[in-house]
Amino acid sequence: MFEAIHGSAPRMMREGRGQYADPCSMLRAAVMLLSHIGKQAEADKLERALDICMYEEKKLKITGRADGATCEDFGNYVMETLTTL
């Protein structure tokens, strides 16, 4: 089973903050899934993009609130980073 460790963020949804949910756990689960189904090169590439976005460049910050990036903004940042790898 491959899932986000935080679940589906129901509290954030109830509080109207769903757009600020952190997609990183779901994307890390996708890395594990890709590896499991034999797509190691793709898994490595996604993992590298996440490391760049989360730990190295850190152009966007996820706070879970309006003072941080939205899930969509961060997802787009990861996708843009993927295209450079």
pLDDT of residue 3: 81
User: Residue 17 and residue 58: Cα distance in Å, rounded?
Assistant: 21
The reported pLDDT for the residue numbered 6 is 67
The H or E element that residue 36 is part of is helix 24-36
pLDDT in tens, 62-76: 999 999 999 999 999
One-letter amino acid at 26 equals M
- The answer to whether the beta carbons of residues 78 and 27 sit under 8 Å apart is yes
Where in the chain are the domains? 10-84
pLDDT, tens digit (0-9, with 9 covering 90-100), for 9-53 = 888 989 999 999 999 999 999 999 999 999 999 999 999 999 999
How many Å apart are CA 30 and CA 4, to the nearest integer?
Answer: 9
Cα 24 to Cα 33: distance, rounded to the nearest angstrom: 14
